[in-house]
Amino acid sequence: MATFPISFRSDSDRIHGEHKALVAELAAFQSALEDLAFSDQVFANLYSADRIAHHGRRLASLLPEHFQHEETTLLPTVSHVSPELEEFAREICHEHQQIRQRLSEFCRALGRLEAGDDVAEAVNAVKQSGRTLAHDLSAHLALEESQLDGFL
């Protein structure tokens, strides 16, 4: 029978709290991406790009630590519960790797925009990489919250 460390409840509460902060940040990030997609005004686009940069940076500062918390507390514990959860934990770690890559791609695109490279192309790269990041992260958070329902 699986045993749960004494810190499990506080670890899972912290992770659930981090999810709430990430979901709020992600919603603001997605809203700025939508505004950029629907506007053809240069100044409106620069304002949206600025919001995308702000919320994207917040995500970049929150995500690495959040993934590390999950990989060192919640996932090792739940993976001892059943072979299915062990497989699930493996898949979650794999998704973390993928999202870390998405985040790097987005940060690189943001860096090119801020360096003043070809603005139209740089805005497009920020938009595309931001959308991919938002899509993958949103699906990831929803999967964790639904599959780890009893643990979070």
Residues that bind Fe ion (CB under 5 A): 70, 144
Nearest to Fe ion of 67, 106 (CB atom):
67
Min dist. Cβ of residue 4 to Fe ion (A): 19
Alpha-carbon torsion angle 82, 88, 90, 93, nearest 10: -140
Nearest to Fe ion of 27, 37 (CB atom):
27
Min dist. Cβ of residue 27 to Fe ion (A): 16
Task: Please give the DSSP secondary-structure letter assigned to residue 71.
Answer: I
Min dist. Cβ of residue 5 to Fe ion (A): 19
Nearest to Fe ion of 36, 85 (CB atom):
85
First to last CA, the chain: 20
Distance of CA 50 to the CA centre of its chain: 19
**Over the Cα atoms of the chain, what is R_g?**
18
